[in-house]
Amino acid sequence: MYRVIALFIFLMLFNSLNADDSYQNWEGKYFAIAYNYNHGKINDKTKIFDGNYYTGDDNALISSKGLKDISENIHGATISLGYNKQNESLVYGVELDLSIANYTYENNSGNIRYNTLPGSTFNVNTKIEHDWITNLQAKVGYAHKSSMYYLVAGPSLAKIDYEFIKSDTAFNIDFKQSNNELKLGWNAGLGIEHKLKNNWAIKIEYLYTNFSNIGKDVKNLSGYTAKYTNEYDYEINTFTIGIVKRF
């Protein structure tokens, strides 16, 4: 993937240096469709409070074995609508895009024995998922010959579901915390577009997206003062290759 992107950048730079025009017109409305490759990471910030249930190293054991960061590589698609204005080589505008993919992150600890109760085990399962992200972005770019080099940034929105289940054979007490929320985040990135014929262009883009403090839910273990605070940070590095049509 990285080699394809590097080759694509080289070809666009080469063609730009050999183009005749000092810069071309990028003003107006456009539509884009693209393939995206996402490397997503969930940072598990869940905290456990012993209360009157956990003893010894229970807390440390559950945290080290059951609360792990989760990374996944995910393929998807993006559609975009935008509008540019241009003042000589300066291009600026706004873009709205929708990315669709099966964004699913799951970790299962398996059955882990308590050191304080060697005959008993626990299991922790964490799952976070969503199937779309929408971004509203401000864009500023520099037009050079047949290419435009640009930066984007703005807010991101996604409906994110999470589920946390901790099962326990010591007293057969299970803990479950789940929620879904419309989460506001932010994004920033950079890209290159290269002109083809008949108002078509090809583009590559890198985008970083961040959603912080997902969850922040506090819940007690049933019948005990022990409690969990479930909280997650989520970041995505997205590489996009697509085609653009101007109107």
Tell me the mean pLDDT in the region 214-221. Answer: 82
Question: What residue numbers bound the domain in which 162 lies?
Answer: 2-246
Q: What are the distances in angstroms from CA 177 to CA 126, 139, 235?
A: 10, 39, 22
Percent of the chain, pLDDT > 90?
67
Instruction: Name the token pair of 140.
Output: 């500023």
Residue the block writes with tokens 């008949």 = 198
What's the whole-number average pLDDT of the chain?
89
Contact (CB, 8 A) for 193 and 144: no
- Which pTM does this prediction carry? 0.87
Amino acid identity, residue 151?
Answer: L
Question: 189: pLDDT confidence band, cut at 50, 70 and 90?
Answer: very high
CA 56 to chain centre: 37
Give the E-state strand segments of 52-120 in sequence order.
Answer: 70-87, 90-108, 112-113
The phi and psi torsions of 61 (rounded to 5 degrees) equal: -70, -45
Contact (CB, 8 A) for 206 and 164: no
Cβ neighbours of residue 199 closer than 8 Å, sequence gap 6 or more: 245, 246, 247
CATH number of domain containing 86: 2.40.160.20
pLDDT at residue 144 is higher than 70? yes
Bridge partners (DSSP) listed for residue 78: 34, 99
Query: Residue 171 gets which letter from DSSP?
Result: S
pLDDT at residue 3 is higher than 80? no
Tell me the mean pLDDT in the region 174-183. Answer: 89
* Least confident range of 43-52, 114-123, 127-136, 216-225: 216-225
Contact (CB, 8 A) for 237 and 190: no
| Per-residue pLDDT at 172 | 78
Tell me the mean pLDDT in the region 82-102. Answer: 96
Domains in the chain, number? 1
Contact (CB, 8 A) for 217 and 180: no
The phi and psi torsions of 198 (rounded to 5 degrees) equal: 55, 45
User: Which of 81, 84, 82 shows the shortest CA–CA distance to 26?
Assistant: 84
Neighbours of 87 (CB within 10 A): 9
Compute the distance between CA of residue 182 and CA of residue 202 in angstroms, rounded to an integer: 32
Tell me the mean pLDDT in the region 172-183. Answer: 87
* Least confident range of 23-27, 28-32, 66-70, 213-217: 213-217
